[in-house]
Amino acid sequence: MNLEAVLATHRFGLGAGKRDLDAMRGDPRGWLKSQLGSVEPITRPFAGQKSTAQVLRDLPSMREAANKSPDDMVKLAKMGRDMFIAEMRPWMRNAFETPVPFLERYVWFWSNHFTISVLKQRMTFFAGSYEREAIRPAVLGKFEDLLISTVRHPAMLIYLDNAYSIGPDSPAGRYTGKGLNENHAREILELHTVGVNGGYTQADVIELAKILTGWSVDRESGAGTGFKFFQNRHQAGSKALLGKTYGENGEREGQDALRDLARHPSTARHIATKLARHFIADEPPPQAVAKLERVFRDTGGDLRALAAALVDEPSAWQPTLNKMRTPIEYIVAAIRLLGGIQDTLGDQRFQGLAESLRVMGQIPFTAQSPKGWPDVASAWAGPAAIMERVQWAHVLAERIQKKPDPAVLADTTMGPLLSPPTREALKLAADPTQGLALLLASPEFQRR
Amino acid sequence: MTLDRRTLIHSAVGAAALTAAAPRFSFAATPGDRRFIVIVMRGALDGLAAVPPHGDPDYARARGSLALPKEAILNLDGSYGLNAKLPTFKALYDQKQLAIVHAVASPYRERSHFDGQNVIETGTARVMPTSDGWLNRALGPAGVNDPKLALAVAQSIPVILQGQRPVTSWMPPQLPSVDDDFLMRLKAMYARDPMLRSALDRALEVGAVAGAAGGGDMQANAQQMRGARGYRFEPLAKMAANIIAAQDGPRIAVMEVGGWDTHQGQGTTQGVLAFLLDNLDKGVKAIKDTLGPTWDRTTILFFTEFGRTVAPNGSNGTDHGTASVTFIAGGAVNGGRVLGNWPGLKPSSLYEGRDLAPTTDLRAVFKGVLADHMRLGRNEVEGIFPDSGNIAPIAGLIRA
């Protein structure tokens, strides 16, 4: 096993499981690129789950229910929690078992870029279907199509409130006296496209919010994704966004404006920086950012080409482990290292793993803000967080049913990365349980 | 009673510039035994809902459906009131242990949460994504040289406390602790990883203090923390206060309370904001009760990244605004006052026609509290807040 093979699993994938190393057949880069062929392996495991449109129709008009008795509120909240848990089981199982860990990481990256969070409570109904419908099918296409698929998704429209934004001068606005909600428009500019220094002003936020009036949710149809454009909420007239005028064109205005934002040079830079930060280093090397930015511009935001460019970027292969694994990455890597969920803990252990994620502060789809999870080591490596990881490693090592030899496991899955102090600690471990706990708590395993 | 703009230009603010400019000696060599707790309210608190200016003749019209009914306001001075969900704050005000500065804002004038939080935490004049936190810069001048004396009650250390000086963080333990033999081996294994090694060392330090102070109910309390909306502040506040009250406990502590981004369903007497204010109030009561005699030497500073729109938005909520409110509470506080120049709520008085206009720079509050509570000299305070020479500290917020 060579250094590149370990880095391919560690840095690009979900940790060094034996299965990944076998699948590589001595060609780490080829293995990574072969994962970029089709979205089928990242969508198929979720076939048969309920669609957003179905959820919307099944719910006895959420708003009405929420306005009735407190009991109804509680019932509704429980329905949402149950639904979220039902979605998270296949999500976690897939993370433990996927044969395309690089592509799965790429999904997580984009899912985090276009964050929704169940901390906004009714999102529990939609978090799973959002990622399945808006993100997964789109991560190997064009950035602009991914962007539009998130903006049109009911989950995002509800999470960032555009579903409730009404043109003040539209028929609906005049009738109800309601007006714009700028939240989604602002986050599209600040977080999703051009970025906070991308050159927009408060006036641009308002103009984009006007452009997107009418983009909302169809609670009745039960078909498609549940998106609907309501002409009677749309603010009529031409709008000026980032120096370009969009004549009155109904739903089409939003499509045009979002495509222009996706193609904006600031967007290329913003996305390139975030990608390099996620896969390479907290302070990404400028030449890596410049290269990704160029690829983004040259290919019109082709996400498959961007992922391939990451694999070809030399700075992504330097051996120093700069990045700290997030709790989700850490737990998934631990289970994959030990041979998958069945081998490691037997069945019926998802509850415990969900609890682990909660303790470490990263249940999927619970980011504190629309900015998503932080992507720098300092956010995950405070004293409290490190102590929790160490304690968790210890608990997991105790619970593992078939305990492998820690030194051999370390050597065969991450050998070239192991530092002398880690080798020494594993060699001197009092017993296999302690050795496994040390391996899981080692700097090499906490980092990537 | 009506609000008169001139009478509301509180003398303390005007006098601040004069008194604070006078040279003073710094006792910065030792940390002293005062406690300074910062509570960052993430998400942008609606200051007009927390401290309604019910004496302003434009209040009811400007707030529309979000105007609080009379019975939901605890009157303070005829001009201002406190939201009825804040009875502890009202009691502190009456005991002159709560000062309020209204219409306060950082120098940041856009409306992004992340940039707004960056500015209030870095203490800079504009967004500085790479800057360290102002509270970290204050550690040296305040003589807080031991990492265990600066505590983040959080899983990850917030920006305000990040920087050159090492600090510690703590959250209630939820997993079984590990044995000493294992810890010894871990330390050896982390020998070449300074980040992990120091994180581990500091976790052990604060864990020792928490163990000595908190006793056996830590794990039970950790269970209670889980509430409907994220976590309940009260149990966490109580456990943190236990650590802070210890003799060798932290002199500086940061806590976070989130959820204030009430775009939807903000409500008045019921709704998201009522829940959040109640949660905050109970937490503050828990801190006061738990600190015991230490409360007399304590200042708690509450602030948020910006305020919210004066008028309701289309969904019974408010959008991102500009000025909000800040609280300074504690036994060390010279309170019972609402400070700040009231800008009014007439359409022409609003910032960009929509937000409460800022009349006090948040840094004036930061500087005043740091100078008087942590005993810093003027030059030290100026060094902590770059490019703020024109912002005079508000003097007199702390009892001498």
Give the per-residue pLDDT at A37: 97
CA nearest to B82, candidates B59, B49, B104, B60: B49
Segment A314-318 long-range contacts (CB within 8 Å, at least 24 positions apart): A315/A280, A315/A281, A315/A285, A315/A287, A315/A288, A316/A11, A316/A12, A316/A279, A316/A280, A316/A288, A317/A4, A317/A7
Whether residues A388 and B174 touch (CB distance < 8 A) is answered with: yes
Beta bridge partners of B110: none
State whether residue B310 sits within 8 Å of chain A by CB: no
Reply yes or no on whether the pLDDT at B128 is more than 80.
no
Contacts of A372 in chain B (CB under 8 A): none
Q: How far, in Å, CA of B214 to CA of A109, rounded?
A: 40
State whether residue B175 sits within 8 Å of chain A by CB: yes
State whether residue A422 sits within 8 Å of chain B by CB: yes
pLDDT tens string A150-172: 999 999 999 999 999 999 999 99
Reply yes or no on whether the pLDDT at A139 is more than 60.
yes
C-alpha neighbours within 13 Å on the C-beta side of residue A234: 21
pLDDT tens string A339-363: 876 666 655 567 778 888 888 889 9
Strands B73-75 and B298-304: unpaired
- A94: how many CB neighbours lie within 10 A of its CB? 18
State whether residue A369 sits within 8 Å of chain B by CB: yes
- For chain B, list the strands marked E by DSSP: 35-41, 73-75, 81-83, 98-105, 150-152, 168-169, 252-257, 298-304, 324-329, 337-339, 360-361
- List C-alpha distances in Å: B1 to B55, B121, B399: 6, 37, 30
| Chain B nearest C-alpha distance from A389 (Å) | 10
State whether residue B352 sits within 8 Å of chain A by CB: yes
Closest-CA residue of A relative to B184 is A425
CA angle, residues B302, B306, B307, in degrees to nearest 5: 100
- List C-alpha distances in Å: B201 to A383, B135, B147, B186, B317: 8, 22, 10, 10, 45
Mutate to test the interface with A, among B41, B117, B148, B196 (most CBs of A within 10 A): B196
Give the per-residue pLDDT at B30: 61
State whether residue A425 sits within 8 Å of chain B by CB: yes
Give the per-residue pLDDT at A67: 56
Interface of A with B in 218-237 (CB under 8 A): none
Reply yes or no on whether the pLDDT at B2 is more than 60.
no
Tokens 């010279």 found at: B334
Contacts of A434 in chain B (CB under 8 A): 181-182, 185
Q: At what angle do helices A327-337 and A70-97 cross, to 10 degrees?
A: 50
- Under a CB-based contact definition with an 8 Å cutoff, are residues A395 and B175 in contact? yes
Q: How far, in Å, CA of B398 to CA of A433, rounded?
A: 55
| Chain A nearest C-alpha distance from B98 (Å) | 29
- Under a CB-based contact definition with an 8 Å cutoff, are residues B246 and B149 in contact? no
pTM of the entire predicted model:
0.81
Segment A2-8 long-range contacts (CB within 8 Å, at least 24 positions apart): A2/A28, A2/A416, A3/A319, A3/A416, A3/A417, A4/A28, A4/A29, A4/A317, A6/A413, A6/A414, A6/A415, A6/A416, A6/A417, A7/A317, A7/A319, A7/A417, A8/A32, A8/A102
Mutate to test the interface with B, among A390, A424, A434 (most CBs of B within 10 A): A390
Q: Which has more confidence, B398 or A220? A: B398
Reply yes or no on whether the pLDDT at A398 is more than 60.
yes
pLDDT tens string B8-58: 334 334 444 434 434 344 444 466 899 999 999 999 999 999 999 999 999
- Under a CB-based contact definition with an 8 Å cutoff, are residues B235 and B224 in contact? yes
Q: What is the Cα B228 distance to its own chain's centre?
A: 23
- List C-alpha distances in Å: B116 to A159, A237, B103, B273, B320: 21, 32, 16, 20, 10
Write down the mean pLDDT value for chain B: 87
Tokens of residue A67, six digits: 């306005």
DSSP letter (8 states) at residue A240: E
Give the per-residue pLDDT at A402: 80
Beta bridge partners of B81: B75
| Chain B nearest C-alpha distance from A401 (Å) | 19
Interface of B with A in 3-62 (CB under 8 A): 42-43
Closest-CA residue of B relative to A376 is B156
| Chain A nearest C-alpha distance from B386 (Å) | 22
- Under a CB-based contact definition with an 8 Å cutoff, are residues B46 and B324 in contact? yes
CA nearest to B308, candidates B284, B272, B283: B272
Q: Which percentage of chain A shows pLDDT scores above 70? A: 94
Q: How far, in Å, CA of A184 to CA of A162, rounded?
A: 6
Question: What letter represents residue A424's amino acid?
Answer: E
Give the per-residue pLDDT at A25: 87
Whether residues B173 and A121 touch (CB distance < 8 A) is answered with: no
Interface of B with A in 205-264 (CB under 8 A): 206-207, 228-230, 258-259, 261, 263-264
pLDDT tens string A32-84: 999 999 999 999 999 988 899 988 888 765 556 555 555 666 677 788 888 89
- Model confidence at A282, pLDDT cuts 50, 70, 90, reads very high
Beta bridge partners of B337: B99
Beta bridge partners of A432: none
φ and ψ at residue B152, rounded to 5 degrees: -100, 120
Give the per-residue pLDDT at A358: 84
Give the per-residue pLDDT at A307: 98
Rounded to 10 degrees, the C-alpha dihedral A268/A265/A251/A218 comes to: 20
- List C-alpha distances in Å: A77 to A74, A219, B187, B213, B224: 5, 18, 44, 37, 19
Strands B360-361 and B98-105: parallel
CA nearest to A391, candidates B186, B263, B136: B186
Q: Average of pLDDT values for A315-344?
A: 89
End-to-end CA distance of chain A: 17
Give the per-residue pLDDT at A346: 58
- Under a CB-based contact definition with an 8 Å cutoff, are residues A267 and A193 in contact? yes
CA nearest to B330, candidates B19, B88, B76, B53: B88
Is the four-CA dihedral B345, B349, B355, B360 of positive or negative sign?
negative
Q: Average of pLDDT values for A390-399?
A: 91
Reply yes or no on whether the pLDDT at B227 is more than 50.
no
Reply yes or no on whether the pLDDT at B268 is more than 70.
yes
Reply yes or no on whether the pLDDT at A367 is more than 50.
yes
Beta bridge partners of A203: none
Alpha-helix runs per DSSP H in B246-338: 272-291
Give the per-residue pLDDT at B229: 45
- A64: how many CB neighbours lie within 10 A of its CB? 10
- Model confidence at B138, pLDDT cuts 50, 70, 90, reads very high
Q: How far, in Å, CA of A372 to CA of A346, rounded?
A: 32
Interface of A with B in 400-419 (CB under 8 A): 419
- Under a CB-based contact definition with an 8 Å cutoff, are residues A215 and A177 in contact? no
- Under a CB-based contact definition with an 8 Å cutoff, are residues B323 and B351 in contact? yes
